[in-house]
Amino acid sequence: MTVPILFARDICVTIGSNEILKNVSLSLPKGSLKVLIGPSGAGKSTFLQTLNHLIPHDSGCLELNGKEINLNNKRELYAYRQQVGMIFQDFNLFDHLNALDNVAIALRKVKGVERQTAHNRAMQELKRVGLEDKATLYPAELSGGQKQRVAIARALAMDPTVLLLDEPTSALDPELIGEVLAVIRDLTRDGLTMVMATHQMDFARALAHEIVFMQDGEIIEQGSPEELLQEGTSSRTRDFCARLVTAIDDKR
Amino acid sequence: MDPFYTNELIPALNRGLVMSTMLIIPSAFFGLLGGILVGTFRVFGPKPIQRLFNAYTAIFRGVPLMVQLFILYYGLPNIGIYFEAYTAAVIGFILCSSAYNSEYIRGALLAIKSGQLQAASALGMSKTQALVWIIIPQAFRRALPGCGNEMIYLIKYSSLAYIVSCIELTGEARAIAAQSFRFTEAFTVVACYYLLLVSIATYLLKKVEKRLAIPGFGTK
């Protein structure tokens, strides 16, 4: 068996008397796309944020390429975070920097890449997400979909081995979702290892290698989309998706 | 023209203007820098440092500047610390202005969404790097109108320097007025000097604001 790229073992997070995550473990083989689904409040977002230690866990451990990360060592933590890129629901582009500098800043200040080289690299990443003509625009001048694509370019510029995506299309207008999903689809084809929380079931069904269903801070089920979503199977995941669909139909 | 103006008042006030400028420029610069540092520590520093700078701000905003200057110039020699009048005045102005500016900066820092810091951390930035390259540049732009206001105040409270015998604009005007008993003329002219200084500062601040303007931050 090959060593997974990223392995989270028995992650527990308690805030006050609330158990947000209860012994959540996840193993990410190279090149895989795992999709986290589940009702809101299930802990998907919290779990993703524990994976790069934006939220510290109370117990459990993180392993990158089979090596446990010592999260108390600041230097090791910062190096680890460079390896694990993150895409946020509300983009979090740096508002005072234009698209190009948003992508280049971490290259320059974290990796110490010289200005011109960093800009060239940033331009290359903006091209990859189809935004080379928006390089000089500021976040306030970009649409939601464009902002999220810049955010993806910013993460990719650091050459991450894993990308975490926290509902990357949830804050977008319906007509802008497609452009972001297209970029993510290209990344799966390039073989980037990713974990993504999403409600885009069609996307998950088509591209996920594995669907992970979470509820109340626990992983309830995981398996391939075929196993969990096929007609006739009785999985919690399928129930949830069916309810999701009815909810949408009811609204109509 | 009345020789009182050309031979006495104007040369004295010009002398005072030089001294005032020498008080205002370093005080404004280091007051702003100090404000950024103090404000940042008050929001993002470790708890004990936060408390320390909160106390500093409470004291320097809570005690009249004139009293602070008296303590610096007349009080500290009692414990063996001697300052020149000019130095005492500048130190007093910097400490006071830093305290006020820190409050503008603090407000601006609190207004920055936590996602900015998260995104910076997620890219592998240390907290210091995130503050220096991401958070403070944004907060500074938001705080600029407030800090500019503080600089305008500073121009006027720099007149307090004369009470610790650092003779600047107001000090010169006072001396001339006392000598000649022409209070109205002396203080009317000195008022014009201050108005001019404030106008120049306002103009420069507007320029800086324009220069730093970014879509989504202030001026369109």
| Inter-residue contact A93 to A122 (CB < 8 Å) | no
Tokens of B174: 């006072």
SS (H, E, C) chain B: CCHHHHHHHHHHHHHHHHHHHHHHHHHHHHHHHHHHHHHHHHHHCCHHHHHHHHHHHHHHHHCCHHHHHHHHHHHHHHHCCCCCHHHHHHHHHHHHHHHHHHHHHHHHHHHCCHHHHHHHHHCCCCHHHHHHHHHHHHHHHHHHHHHHHHHHHHHHHHHHHHHHCCCCHHHHHHHHHHHHCCHHHHHHHHHHHHHHHHHHHHHHHHHHHHHHCECCECCC
Distance from CA of A185 to the nearest CA of B (A): 22
Q: Which residues of B touch A195 (CB under 8 A)?
A: none
Query: Could A94 and B116 be called an inter-chain contact, meaning their C-beta atoms sit closer than 8 Å?
Result: yes
Task: Please give the helix or strand (H or E) that residue A89 lies within, else none.
Answer: none
Distance from CA of A91 to the nearest CA of B (A): 8
Query: Residue B218 — pLDDT band, cuts 50, 70, 90?
Result: low
Instruction: Please tell me which of the candidates A78, A92, A95 has its beta carbon nearest to residue B118.
Output: A92
| Inter-residue contact B60 to B95 (CB < 8 Å) | yes
Cα separations in angstroms, B130 against A121, A123, B198:
21, 22, 35
| Inter-residue contact A2 to A30 (CB < 8 Å) | yes
Query: What is the distance of C-alpha A73 from the center of its chain?
Result: 24
Query: Could A96 and B138 be called an inter-chain contact, meaning their C-beta atoms sit closer than 8 Å?
Result: yes
3-state SS, residue A93: coil
pLDDT in tens, A44-100: 999 999 999 999 999 999 999 999 999 999 999 999 999 999 999 999 999 999 999
**Average model confidence (pLDDT) across chain B:** 95
Query: Could A96 and B118 be called an inter-chain contact, meaning their C-beta atoms sit closer than 8 Å?
Result: no
Answer whether residue B146 shows pLDDT above 90. yes
d(CA B4, CA B185): 10
Tokens of B47: 């708890």
Task: Please give the helix or strand (H or E) that residue A48 lies within, else none.
Answer: helix A44-51
pLDDT in tens, B28-42: 999 999 999 999 999
- Tell which of A78, A96, A164, A167 to mutate to test the B interface (max B CBs under 10 Å): A96
Sheet of strand A6-15: strand arrangement: A18-28, A6-15, A59-64, A67-68
| Inter-residue contact A110 to B138 (CB < 8 Å) | no
d(CA B83, CA A78): 46
Query: Could B123 and A138 be called an inter-chain contact, meaning their C-beta atoms sit closer than 8 Å?
Result: no
Of the candidates A48, A27, A28, A29, the one whose C-alpha atom is nearest the C-alpha of residue A37 is A48
Give the Cα-Cα-Cα angle A81, A11, B45 (nearest 5 degrees).
Answer: 50
Instruction: Please tell me which of the candidates A106, A137, A151 has its beta carbon nearest to residue B124.
Output: A106
Residue type, B138: Q
Contacting B with CB below 8 Å, chain A residues are 52, 54, 74, 78-79, 81-82, 84-86, 88, 90, 92-96, 105-106, 109-110, 137-141, 151, 154-155, 158
Q: Which residues of A touch B216 (CB under 8 A)?
A: 95, 138-141
Query: Could B123 and A95 be called an inter-chain contact, meaning their C-beta atoms sit closer than 8 Å?
Result: no
d(CA B89, CA B22): 11
Q: Which residues of B touch A156 (CB under 8 A)?
A: none
Radius of gyration of the CA atoms of chain B, in A:
21
Overall pTM surpassing 0.95 (yes/no): no
> pLDDT at position B219, please?
52
Instruction: Please tell me which of the candidates B115, B126, B216 has its beta carbon nearest to residue A90.
Output: B115
Kindly give the confidence (pLDDT) of every residue in chain A, 252 residues in length, as a single tens digit, with 9 standing for 90 and above: 578 999 999 999 998 889 999 999 999 999 999 999 999 889 999 999 999 999 999 999 999 999 999 999 999 999 999 999 999 999 999 999 999 999 999 999 999 999 999 999 999 999 999 999 999 999 999 999 999 999 999 999 999 999 999 999 999 999 999 999 999 999 999 999 999 999 988 899 999 999 999 999 999 999 999 888 877 777 788 888 877 777 666 655
Distance from CA of B26 to the nearest CA of A (A): 28
Architecture, CATH, for domain B3-212: Orthogonal Bundle (1.10)
Query: Residue B138 — pLDDT band, cuts 50, 70, 90?
Result: very high
Lowest mean pLDDT among A221-235, B104-118, B155-169: A221-235
The DSSP code for A101 is: H
Locate the chain B residue with the closest alpha carbon to A55: B118
User: What are residue A215's DSSP bridge partners?
Assistant: A218
Interface confidence, given as ipTM, is 0.92
Query: Could B124 and A82 be called an inter-chain contact, meaning their C-beta atoms sit closer than 8 Å?
Result: yes
Query: Could A96 and B217 be called an inter-chain contact, meaning their C-beta atoms sit closer than 8 Å?
Result: yes
